[in-house]
Amino acid sequence: MVNWGIIGCGNVTEVKSGPAFNKVRGSRLIAVMRRDAVLAEDYARRHNVPKFYSKASDLVNDKDINAIYVATPPASHAEYAIASIKAGKPVYIEKPMALNYAECAKINKASEKYKVPVFVAYYRRLLPGYLKVKELIENGSIGKVYFVQVQLFKAPTEEEKTGKLPWRVVPEISGGGHFFDLASHQLDYLDFLFGPVQNMKSFALNQAGHYQAEDFVTSEFVFDNNIAGTGTWCFNVLPENERDIIEIFGEKGSIRFSTFSFDPIVLTTSSGNQEFINERPEHVQFNLIEKIVQFLNGNGSVPSTGITGARTSKVMDEVVKDFYTDKSKAI
């Protein structure tokens, strides 16, 4: 039995992940931690969790816990992950894996030293719709893949416009802006489809001035087999101009799908369009948590590890490196 403890029981754990720990066979959630003891107790009561803590060290040292889920903002991922590893407890980390690639490398070094596995919450690697896209590519539905285009455009929130900044756009906490929070899913999924990025050219800007982090990013990248990619991420558009598209083009057609809206997958070939349902599960992390539990119980493997998660962080760091080296580029 895998007995989980959660460090950081915030919004992401309410539906996306938290309930899945008790629904997966061979798994149960027995403790949660939040610095605000009142909120930790409230979460435990609402989710029928037996224990709650206000100190991470108390949860890490709980002898009844043998695996830990770190769901805090990225700035504390490395600290808590390494503490869990040193305690001999496998760790499942929210994405992005850490504040930057250097911290990811420290986590992986500890994992190797103490022989404790690390997993990262890039759950699209196991969602049925995204596995369908992989299947369409691998069965030759669009023939040889030539290139992929990513477009993610979102409007700024009212809080961002008025200076009440969420932690996701505070680089000291999140690693960057919304690019780190959202594009990480897309870049990791492309890594899943095509392998590691081999080469890239990018630039990042701050155009709207609502916060100090980047709010516009564009990148060109190349995978193995000369598969090319382009990505544009903008977080300054009107709501009417929001966009969430990934399109993969090959010699025989294309595959179009969304990352966050779970729109139908569209396969376009010379025979016309064919749509496939891209269903959003009740708990989007269930399938990945299930795989992790099975692995920890001695069965199978997990497609999202500290090694793959670190690759995505390395790409993101490379994309924005000039922006954070030369702050004069920010408005």
Instruction: Using DSSP bridges, classify how beta strands 243-250 and 253-257 pair: parallel, antiparallel or unpaired.
Output: antiparallel
Q: Which two tokens stand for residue 107?
A: 């986590």
What pLDDT is stored for residue 327 in this prediction? 47
Residue 269 pairs in a beta bridge with 253, 272
Cα(81)–Cα(108) distance, rounded to whole angstroms? Answer: 10
* All structural domains of the chain with their residue ranges: 2-122+285-303, 125-279+313-329
Q: Which two tokens stand for residue 258?
A: 């969304």
Instruction: Encode the chain (331 residues) as per-residue pLDDT tens digits.
Output: 999 999 999 999 999 999 999 999 999 999 999 999 999 999 999 999 999 999 999 999 999 999 999 999 999 999 999 999 999 999 999 999 999 999 999 999 999 999 999 999 999 999 999 999 999 999 999 999 999 999 999 999 999 999 899 999 999 999 999 999 999 999 999 999 999 999 999 999 999 999 999 999 999 999 999 999 999 999 999 999 999 999 999 999 999 999 999 999 999 999 999 999 999 999 999 999 999 999 999 999 999 999 999 999 999 999 999 999 854 433 3
What pLDDT is stored for residue 331 in this prediction? 30
Closest among 49, 68, 89, 63 to 5, alpha carbons compared: 68
Residue 252's SS3 state is coil
Cα(297)–Cα(312) distance, rounded to whole angstroms? Answer: 27
What pLDDT is stored for residue 195 in this prediction? 98
What pLDDT is stored for residue 326 in this prediction? 58
Cα(65)–Cα(5) distance, rounded to whole angstroms? Answer: 6
CATH topology of domain 2-122+285-303: Rossmann fold (3.40.50)
Query: What crossing angle do the helices spanning 184-194 and 128-138 adopt, rounded to 10°?
Result: 40
Q: Which two tokens stand for residue 156?
A: 């700024």
- Specify the CATH number of the domain 125-279+313-329: 3.30.360.10
C-alpha distances (whole Å) from 86 to each of 81, 114, 115, 286, 295 are 9, 7, 10, 26, 20
Rg (CA), the chain: 20
Q: Quick one: residue 226, left, alpha or beta (phi over 0 = left, psi -120 to 50 = alpha)?
A: left
